[in-house]
Structure 1
């Protein structure tokens, strides 16, 4: 008989309970004991959901106050020197968010997902020490709750080091032996918890091309971690195939291997290897990264193909990855028109439950039969619905002929510089200003028809007026309107596009307490009317300075939406690009001279295997260029990218042909900028000069130093000065002094 498993479960709370508890604590309104209380309630609730669904392998240590990688840093004592000496709670959140004296640790995307992790920070002198309290206590907590055999989740030592950065150019993986020694101590402690303990060790680094060089480290590492006969280790991978790793895992005493059968391009080679082994296979067949109802009949066929290699007694059925990447539950979605087509985390538990029963040929009760019938009806109705297909959109995409701007960059920039007459090191911000509680209340009241359109617009205009006045007071060169009308940089546009649906409560953790509510792209996409022109032109009418129009790019809208899985993403991206094309044309015709098309999620859409990268790069670049191809030579196109390591994609960025690109560099010095210089990048660049993910206010001297560091790489004529990212999540009392210090620092550097 097969068993069921969940790779991991979300933790922020189905109504964002952990988010609000954390933010209350950070604001000094409550004690940390209140956060701990909420955490205990959430863990119990999540275990209860899985227990009710008869899940056999229920995870512990998949819960975190901020980030699991940060938890690993604490567990193994890999604390950067600048944070040592702090109390336990202060240390934890200072590493994540910074404090008055120390900048936060770097943050970047978890592989090609929209989740951010804290990057471990090591050096030659780094040492490790074990603090296993969280893990052991959570196991005992789950046992007390009634979970018979909790599965302990850990991030693997090879992945931990491969995702680390070093501050002195040393090799992070040179610490592998020292780190594994601490992991072995942890396994020893775990072995004393129960007669038998299952430990899931996540090693997703082996689904990337790095697996070719790292695979040789598996056997010596896991020989040291499989010495306890009562500890059964699962080598868990997800997001792609892990063939190189599987070849090595079968040589070890590892008990189980987790494979992703949803997002992997091919798992046949791994199955052939595992067929001749004794390893138990944890088959991730229910999509942990998207929200559409699983076609249970198709999933059963997939399992039957897997069973040609792996017998039922060595086969377990579960999710392709942690359910961290999807919303919690549909139970709050009372107005969602496409609800029957969707499956969130709690609903996926039912999919795992029923699929496992089908695999083993178990008899269904009446409610089970009803569930299967509803699943079949949902799959069929989605295929045939008139909501999905739009012939006009399909014809426009089929007849595309223009994919780039008419005038080359060298000529455009001459025209733009003459027209704008901006100073050296022009200053701007990335787009958004603080989303205050009052502003959210106004939007919410208007959405619920509690205030009139006139009252709503008056409040939004007042916010824009205040933003403009403040920016002029700071002497910022290119202004933004602050985006007070926008809830989210993707959701706002999705709400105005045909082919999208929207949830009430489908929140997903992005990092820490930050949550996003991705829109649901279910049909052919088009723009019925202008989306931003009214507010941008109003803002431009209130100032003589240049007002920058703010749009989200097609690739980011695609990557930050839950996207239909019945059509190639490249075709969907073209539909989105045409909607942005139309908006740019309307903006420039309304007198807007600079337009920023954010591609914050461009990098995270990259395939994890190099053989799949050219196809992605082609459609991503083509669709960005298509979206901005409406821009005249005198219209300057900016773009913004987040959390990107650009050394491997710099030529692709160059091919996008934006006039100005702003990037996040505050946590990484000028290392990213050196990449732009090394390839002779000719367009202008706006490296972030301070970190907006931390509440600390940088001084004038600190920012001036940062600018001078940037000038060691690129000349003044090529640089813009701006914060790292949008200011939406910050408070005005942080934003105002930071921006004033930024412009003061620029003036000092201009005169030097």
Structure 2
């Protein structure tokens, strides 16, 4: 038998984001549910057909989603938050999207990052959960592929242990009870798939790359023993990704037909385990050998050599070649990209190209194509590595002499005295995170400018009108610290990718971040440096319109790194410091032009945290240094802000304090109580704003909600350091809802401020 080819998952959004557009038409009420379903089916089938035409043997089915695969799995098994439950036996589309997005009177479920990626999943809520098989969606999608395309696909389902591990609202005993209740439901799904003709099933259990204690190991043993007993002839692949497998010796003995391992992001540990402990003779090894998270072509000769080494441990007839993880995390295709330098373009591979790469590698290993085809393929990356793009002398000299750039400021308490004297802000000052609604007109004008239909002068005049309008709105609302609105920016990382040398921006390189929200990560292909100021012009113009402070708005080096596709030929810490030096220059330029508050956002700091505890310290040390390298050139009276998204804040609270920012704002509204618990044991003394309402939902918060959120925060935080703000930027919201929500926020802040002032006056 020969080596097989496989895929783990395909991008949902389509080559032209047709998936996203269809979702938003449906949400806006512009198409019917029937039209929505029919068009989604076309998209879904086109993705399967493409993989079929490429020659992939094990094609995933069930990875397609209308919003999020974790939400799909939770709903399939009836794990629906109590506030969204109805008497219907099958959940409606409206109810499905309400859980993800919220609705009037119903707060959306929490959303957080999928392991250490920029994809967000909807967190299942298990409180009072009673599992029941509502619908066997995986069976439906398997039959669809088989009947309409003749594809005997590989059904993909998120495993029960990972599903519960990623959920909230349970204790250890509750989790055990739920797992016991879920196993028979999973077995029913598997049995129906077997009856329908499925041969291979991919069960994703990525929680296996994180800490696996004895209790979790026992859960895996019991669950997969039950599966094997119920469907002994079904070929189950226990799939992991993003890191190396924990408890390797025990997990590979589970009664499954195959084990899927990531050999790209595992730091060599999976291979070390194989070499030390071997691999069972009764299993296949699904080798994640093609990078599913980055966009560079593989060196196929190196990959083939790696597989030859593997074949000394696992015979070739028991090897499957596949990506390291689902291709959900990369853009769809390179075929429409035309703006790249040829040297760079020739070295890139998006999802479709990675599928072709899997086939190339598989055919070469099966001796179906000659060596010269592989040699020709590998030349492009070698050419880029030796190009001038990756050998810029002044950048490499700066990296070699980082000690000449100070990264320490005077004590934060002393800086606060200077800031209080300079700004004289009220108690509980109000601000926003940075962006304001990007209306259809804003996007149209930017597109016209890019096409050359508007001159630079005309586009700048349009931006001035928008900035002027929103400075006036902010003053009318009563905000204390203003922003210019970021109307010139497509995305908080892509914008800087367009401005910095060593970066390239794709035309159609979209990836899903959450729901219909897609982003275009820039490509870091060479040494990074700043040629000219990036944000000074718009910020200085905004400041000229008001006496209130206007924050300069920048994205920090860690977030730019984590939300970009980075070069993989040098250490990521070197790339990080190249970016930090560039941001440092921009911070200095803003200050020289009279901007006294500068926000350097790091929303991706937590998501970049390694999945392995032993790697955490070095990552955080590098992240803190890069931030301080970016922000420590300013005068003592200049106030540095930062913003970050929430996810298990307690994991990084000391590192966040070490950033030494004067004010930090944190996205927290969907999990406000959980975050605040972090401060009950940690005495934070610098300025802090906990997001008091959720910008990911279209609903306008009530005055009572905001007062409650402020009150809860002030139970553990000194009111003298507390700021009031939304939990993230307002780019994706509508104008009217934005204004309405900010008015309520300012009203709540003023009410609480008056009460505090009264108490202080009478104490």
Q: Give the TM-score taking structure 1 as reference length.
A: 0.97
Deviation for aligned residue 1:269? 4.4
Which residue of structure 2 lines up, in the alignment, with residue 103 of structure 1? Answer: 107
Deviation for aligned residue 1:344? 0.3
Which residue of structure 2 lines up, in the alignment, with residue 8 of structure 1? Answer: 9
Q: What is the CA deviation profile of residues 689-739 of structure 1, one whole-angstrom value per residue up to 9, with x for unaligned ones?
A: 000000001122221222112222212112100001000111112101000
Of 95, 117, 121, the residue aligned with 1:117 is: 121
Whether contact under 8 Å (1:243, 1:269) holds in the other structure is no
Deviation for aligned residue 1:169? 9.4
C-alpha distance in 2, partners of 1:667/1:149? 40
C-alpha distance in 2, partners of 1:527/1:170? 55
Which residue of structure 1 lines up, in the alignment, with residue 59 of structure 2? Answer: 58
Secondary structure of the residue aligned to 2:357 is helix
Whether contact under 8 Å (2:609, 2:616) holds in the other structure is yes
C-alpha distance in 1, partners of 2:372/2:515? 40
Deviation for aligned residue 1:572? 0.7
Which residue of structure 2 lines up, in the alignment, with residue 251 of structure 1? Answer: 253
C-alpha distance in 2, partners of 1:727/1:318? 39
C-alpha distance in 2, partners of 1:686/1:76? 38
Of 616, 637, 640, the residue aligned with 2:643 is: 640
Whether contact under 8 Å (1:165, 1:172) holds in the other structure is no
2:304 corresponds to 1:300: yes
Whether contact under 8 Å (1:499, 1:523) holds in the other structure is yes
Q: How does 1:415-454 map to 2 (within 5 A)?
A: 415-454=418-457
Q: How does 1:261-660 map to 2 (within 5 A)?
A: 261-265=263-267, 266-272=269-275, 273-337=277-341, 338-363=344-369, 372-401=374-403, 402-660=405-663
C-alpha distance in 2, partners of 1:174/1:653? 37
Change (3 A) 1:65 1:592: same
Deviation for aligned residue 1:133? 3.5
Q: How does 1:188-207 map to 2 (within 5 A)?
A: 188-194=191-197, 196-207=198-209
Q: How does 1:29-48 map to 2 (within 5 A)?
A: 29-48=30-49
Q: What is the CA deviation profile of residues 669-700 of structure 1, one whole-angstrom value per residue up to 9, with x for unaligned ones?
A: 23212313411111111000000000001122
Change (3 A) 1:410 1:171: farther
Deviation for aligned residue 1:209? 2.1
Secondary structure of the residue aligned to 1:281 is strand
Of 726, 731, 734, the residue aligned with 2:734 is: 731
Which residue of structure 2 lines up, in the alignment, with residue 27 of structure 1? Answer: 28
Deviation for aligned residue 1:68? 0.1
C-alpha distance in 1, partners of 2:187/2:745? 48
Q: How does 1:645-724 map to 2 (within 5 A)?
A: 645-724=648-727
Whether contact under 8 Å (1:205, 1:211) holds in the other structure is no
What is the CA RMSD across the aligned residues, in angstroms?
1.6
C-alpha distance in 2, partners of 1:155/1:31? 30
C-alpha distance in 2, partners of 1:23/1:474? 29
Which residue of structure 2 lines up, in the alignment, with residue 89 of structure 1? Answer: 93
Secondary structure of the residue aligned to 2:35 is helix
C-alpha distance in 2, partners of 1:252/1:673? 40
C-alpha distance in 2, partners of 1:169/1:543? 55
Deviation for aligned residue 1:380? 2.2
Deviation for aligned residue 1:383? 1.8
Q: What is the CA deviation profile of residues 612-660 of structure 1, one whole-angstrom value per residue up to 9, with x for unaligned ones?
A: 1121111111101110011211111111111321111111111111111
Secondary structure of the residue aligned to 1:357 is helix
Secondary structure of the residue aligned to 1:71 is helix
Q: Give the TM-score taking structure 2 as reference length.
A: 0.95
Whether contact under 8 Å (1:403, 1:622) holds in the other structure is no
Moved more, 590-599 or 399-408: 399-408
C-alpha distance in 2, partners of 1:708/1:611? 37
Q: What is the CA deviation profile of residues 161-189 of structure 1, one whole-angstrom value per residue up to 9, with x for unaligned ones?
A: 11111178975354211122211221122
Change (3 A) 1:210 1:471: farther
Whether contact under 8 Å (1:285, 1:299) holds in the other structure is yes
C-alpha distance in 2, partners of 1:634/1:171? 52
C-alpha distance in 1, partners of 2:555/2:106? 32
Whether contact under 8 Å (1:431, 1:483) holds in the other structure is yes
C-alpha distance in 2, partners of 1:488/1:737? 24
Deviation for aligned residue 1:471? 0.4
C-alpha distance in 2, partners of 1:438/1:711? 40
Q: What is the CA deviation profile of residues 379-421 of structure 1, one whole-angstrom value per residue up to 9, with x for unaligned ones?
A: 2211211122110011011111134233111111111111110
Whether contact under 8 Å (2:281, 2:314) holds in the other structure is no
Which residue of structure 1 lines up, in the alignment, with residue 758 of structure 2? Answer: none
Change (3 A) 1:162 1:557: same
Deviation for aligned residue 1:308? 1.5
Q: What is the CA deviation profile of residues 539-568 of structure 1, one whole-angstrom value per residue up to 9, with x for unaligned ones?
A: 000001010110000000000000000010
Change (3 A) 1:418 1:174: farther
C-alpha distance in 1, partners of 2:295/2:749? 46
Moved more, 155-164 or 709-718: 709-718
C-alpha distance in 1, partners of 2:396/2:691? 40
C-alpha distance in 2, partners of 1:297/1:379? 12
C-alpha distance in 2, partners of 1:648/1:583? 30
Which residue of structure 2 lines up, in the alignment, with residue 158 of structure 1? Answer: 161
Whether contact under 8 Å (2:210, 2:246) holds in the other structure is no
Which residue of structure 1 lines up, in the alignment, with residue 224 of structure 2? Answer: 222
Deviation for aligned residue 1:446? 0.6
Whether contact under 8 Å (1:219, 1:251) holds in the other structure is no
Whether contact under 8 Å (1:329, 1:344) holds in the other structure is yes
Deviation for aligned residue 1:282? 0.1
Whether contact under 8 Å (1:69, 1:117) holds in the other structure is yes
Moved more, 530-539 or 398-407: 398-407
Change (3 A) 1:110 1:180: same
Deviation for aligned residue 1:663? 0.6
C-alpha distance in 2, partners of 1:714/1:100? 30
Whether contact under 8 Å (1:286, 1:320) holds in the other structure is yes
Secondary structure of the residue aligned to 1:562 is coil
Moved more, 35-44 or 550-559: 35-44
Q: Report the number of matched residues.
A: 745
Which residue of structure 1 lines up, in the alignment, with residue 74 of structure 2? Answer: 73
Secondary structure of the residue aligned to 2:302 is helix
Gaps of 5+ in 2: 756-763
C-alpha distance in 2, partners of 1:57/1:566? 31
C-alpha distance in 1, partners of 2:387/2:407? 34
